[in-house]
Chains A and B, each alone.
Chain A
């Protein structure tokens, strides 16, 4: 049942009559939804949407912090990144390397952990707490902690490796290992997010589906492929999209562990943007990197969404 906003009710009519004055406006039918949305929209438009377009504009100018005149230079900044900047293509390569290790591992591992944590076992609350704990530690503290553990001279990891008779490694100093270590620490820090989403998805699968499969003689492996996975499609899509967006945004984990080094082996696009913009104050090229990240993330997100939609259609 819905009730008209004005009319029969005398107090409604009164409110409608007083619509022109002050707070009574909120009682009005036409204006109020927009008034409710107003505070959000002001902040959203000014501090989120406008900066995206402003960033696009800055990327097309020669933006000198000291110079009040910001001459329009067209695609010069992009030209500089593509052909003049010695580090840009390295950053693209490193970012892709990071994404192609980080995303698949975290999706598969997140699902595997969710399957284990979905079992009813004694002490499960404790184990879940242990898994979620690193997720609430801020990345600066995580970075310091792992610099200490991975320290080549005095770190815990090398000590235990030598106990096992393995040669100590120059962790975080030797470029061969740094990217893998960054991914490993990132898993430790943030896998909980994926596990939580998958757990929620698992708990939504009706038990009857599993019973039906069991009656049809499906073993655990078949039940996973034919019941669990298809039912998790929504969660899977969400996790993959969030993971891709998150990986392009990755900054703190890398900045705190390696600072983009050694030898730029972990200098992902966000770190490159930070150094270009806020260390060398080259705002034009920095904004251009932002635009490039924005376009790639949007394209990938839409592609992933389209891919999942196609799967729904069969």
Chain B
């Protein structure tokens, strides 16, 4: 009986202990959840304010107190941003940016996968040297080449051209590095079988390797698209003709022309317009985008 009692007492205390441990875990999770919510609010509120302002008429945009839901929402800011004659309209810039981004993605995928394939799969003289050269490119800040690139493109008359934005980013050391990682993970057997059948290296790359490396290709595609779309300094240097300007460059000119007249509604509409496409692309391909950064980050 005595033994039974002490056993019961022990069981009771251990139960109490687990219960308090569980309660402590609950509290911990609650705190964590609160912190997380605060973080999200910090990152989301400015975006919400941008959207709200874009629907607020310019004549009430400066009213105090600020209103998170506009009293008389309007689309007029958007039409003003697109059709303005103060600077070039946003419409043309959206077309320019899309064209440049798509062309950059296609060229980058082609050039970088062709370069990554021998580095992942073939043995040849100078392979190590070439790979180190590519790695060095990862460390070179592109910005230090802008003065001479500008002078080169100026000399051949390529300022205000799409090529000037597409070509310099197509040979991406980052892309070669990323695709090489994916190519190396593909089993060799398939390739060997194809080579017994007499497939050329080029056909092997396009019919066997690339389809199997789709996750890597889509990751690089998304990354390149966003990088090209959001590229700022180089387009600002090269594109001086309003008809050739990309979205970020046009926005920089909008600030100069609309901020002085305090048309914050129009400015926010332009900012939202500049953001919609990248955000849609990001929401659809979030996984691939995160993977592109994670893969190189891990093995870099």
Contact = CB atoms under 8 A, between A and B. Distances in A.
A26 interface: yes
Interface string B34-49: 0111011011101101
B279 A144 contact: no
B245 to A, nearest CB: 11
B298 A201 contact: yes
Contact of B298 (A122, A200, A255): A200
Contact of B143 (A119, A126, A149, A249): A249
Interface string A2-13: 110100010110
B43 A294 contact: no
Main secondary structure of the interface of B (DSSP, over half): helix
A39 B111 contact: yes
A121 B33 CA distance: 7
Given A39-B111, A136-B226, A136-B230, 20 more contacts: A11-B198, A26-B200, A36-B118, A37-B114, A41-B171, A43-B170, A55-B148, A58-B148, A121-B33, A137-B279, A138-B229, A141-B251, A143-B255, A144-B251, A196-B290, A197-B297, A238-B298, A274-B237, A278-B237, A283-B147
B254 A137 contact: no
B267 A36 contact: no
19 contacts: A26-B201, A36-B118, A37-B118, A58-B151, A116-B36, A136-B282, A137-B230, A140-B247, A140-B255, A141-B248, A145-B47, A146-B46, A238-B300, A270-B143, A283-B151, A290-B147, A293-B141, A293-B143, A294-B141
B255 A144 contact: yes
B145 A48 contact: yes
Interface stretch (A27-35, A79-87, A208-216): A27-35
Interface of B: 29, 32-33, 35-37, 39-40, 42-44, 46-47, 49-50, 53, 62, 64-66, 110-112, 114-115, 117-119, 122, 124, 127, 130, 133-134, 137, 139-152, 154, 167-168, 170-171, 173, 176, 188-189, 192, 195-198, 200-202, 205, 226, 229-230, 232-233, 236-237, 247-249, 251-252, 254-255, 259, 262, 264, 267-268, 270-272, 274-275, 278-279, 281-283, 286, 290, 293-300
Contacts of B40: 126-127, 130-131
A129 interface: yes
Interface in A249-269: 249, 251-252, 255-256
A301 B171 CA distance: 22
A127 B43 CA distance: 9
Main secondary structure of the interface of A (DSSP, over half): helix
B198 to A, nearest CB: 3
B137 A44 contact: yes
A173 B170 CA distance: 39
B62 A290 contact: no
Given A27-B201, A43-B171, A287 B148 contact: yes
Interface residues of A, number: 101
Nearest to A137: B275
Interface string A281-304: 001001100110110011001000
B233 A251 contact: yes
Interface in A182-206: 188, 193, 196-197, 199-201, 204
A129 B167 CA distance: 32
Contacts, number: 304
B171 to A, nearest CB: 4
A199 B295 CA distance: 11
A148 B264 contact: yes
Chain A CB count within 10 A is highest, among B35, B62, B171, B295, for B171
A65 B151 CA distance: 9
A205 B201 CA distance: 37
Nearest to A301: B139
B279 A116 contact: no
A200 B294 contact: yes
Contacts of A270: 143, 233
B130 A37 contact: yes
